[in-house]
Structure 1
């Protein structure tokens, strides 16, 4: 079973100034190295232009990170699960995984990325600023750029395995696995019979579930296995796949018991 995650908008730069720089050939699915280099070179160029803020669609407070994009080829790297530091990854708590659990994550987790298309959990990358919905001047919208390039190698990586899809909508458009072998994870807060989606809580729930799957004594292999594991933490409902839409795993938290 493979787990698909989005990256986090927030990133923590590698702290070791002597860490090795980015090596595109060492990332998961090295066949994507030429495509990754195309995006990397254009991102470096755009990040030095006056229109960088508009092209990358960011606010004033992160312009320092945009400027840092110009040094991506020389910047120190760290494992992807260290670089990504948003709500989902905080809830996953990778730093508490055992070595065997971290190896499981390296084998089973794919993290989608506007810059790299997809990386592995332990792939060494630098901190960067580039979302999947960015439209670069030459390459166009990155979700469309990656859609054509990810289809074959990611499908080959999946083969006949089940996929647990914890990605947000922008990243899900870059690759769509077989809906009949995929379960998309949703999170709802329930109060007085009404269900609402709270983005922060949904990210945390997906991160928590991912951590549970990586730590499970018997790793889940099917939709039923995932639903059973999730039922230890949430009220769970499963909606069956359609011709184009994957199975839906709804994690429901009562507002009275939410943290």
Structure 2
């Protein structure tokens, strides 16, 4: 089973790992060329702060993000699952996993990335700023950059794929047949609404269950059963791979 997580705009700074080594990342043979192209583009763009702000959607108060991009090749690294921050990663809470659970997280979790395409939980990466909506000068949009090389890598994944990425990251490289999860809130009168910001927290809890469980679901039916045993209210479209997670309003 592979669980694909969305990245976060914010990231922990620093780290204790060696500088970025693209050859040490997942799917290096297939993805290093594009990764290197994007890293070089971000480092070069960092020489022009106003252009960086425009391309990356930053305000002057976020110029430290530009400085991080300038240091992409020399900055220390952290395992990807520790680099990203925010409500999803707070709910996942890898710092409280046991050694065995952390090994399972490293085996089961991956993160979609505008800069790296996809990284496994343990892949060492520096702090950076680039989102799926960014448009780097002189390059096509990131969907056009990533889809030809990333889509085959993800499509070749063996076993069940649970795709928790947001729509913009799914668009970089869809995974045929992957299980997707939407989160809706249900009011006392039975009416429902799509959960926006806090859907990430619920997806983080799903991811935590999937790395702390001893079960190894091989299909959607087994996954639904596992989630329900874990206390989630899950609905499945008839015969499909799209799940709806229903939470109280």
TM-score using structure 2 length: 0.93
Residues matched between the structures, number:
245
Query: Does the Cα contact within 8 Å between 2:160 and 2:217 map onto a contact in 1?
Result: no
Q: Distance in 2 between matches of 1:59 and 1:194?
A: 39
Q: Which consecutive aligned stretches of 4+ in structure 1 deviate over 4 angstroms post-superposition?
A: none
**1:156-195: CA deviation from partner (whole Å, max 9, x where unpaired):** 2x13x1211100011000111123xx21011111112221
For residue 7 of structure 1, report the CA deviation from its aligned partner. Answer: 0.6
- More off after superposition, 134-143 vs 71-80: 134-143
The residue aligned with 1:165 is 163
For residue 80 of structure 1, report the CA deviation from its aligned partner. Answer: 0.6
User: 1:46 and 2:42 equivalent?
Assistant: no
Query: Does the Cα contact within 8 Å between 1:240 and 1:248 map onto a contact in 2?
Result: no
**1:111-139: CA deviation from partner (whole Å, max 9, x where unpaired):** 11011111110100011100012111122
Question: In structure 2, the residue corresponding to 1:51 is in which secondary structure?
Answer: helix
User: 1:233 and 2:225 equivalent?
Assistant: no
CA RMSD of aligned residues (A): 1.5
Query: Does the Cα contact within 8 Å between 2:215 and 2:226 map onto a contact in 1?
Result: no
The residue aligned with 1:187 is 183
Query: Does the Cα contact within 8 Å between 1:213 and 1:220 map onto a contact in 2?
Result: no
For residue 63 of structure 1, report the CA deviation from its aligned partner. Answer: 2.2
The residue aligned with 1:113 is 113
For residue 199 of structure 1, report the CA deviation from its aligned partner. Answer: 2.1
Question: In structure 2, the residue corresponding to 1:199 is in which secondary structure?
Answer: coil
For residue 46 of structure 1, report the CA deviation from its aligned partner. Answer: 1.3
For residue 69 of structure 1, report the CA deviation from its aligned partner. Answer: 0.6
Q: Distance in 2 between matches of 1:15 and 1:155?
A: 32
Q: Which runs of 5+ in 1 are unaligned?
A: none
Compared with structure 1, are the counterparts of its residues 240 and 173 closer, same or farther at alpha carbon in structure 2 (3 Å cutoff)?
farther
Q: Distance in 2 between matches of 1:113 and 1:40?
A: 12
TM-score using structure 1 length: 0.89
Question: In structure 2, the residue corresponding to 1:106 is in which secondary structure?
Answer: helix
Q: Which runs of 5+ in 2 are unaligned?
A: none
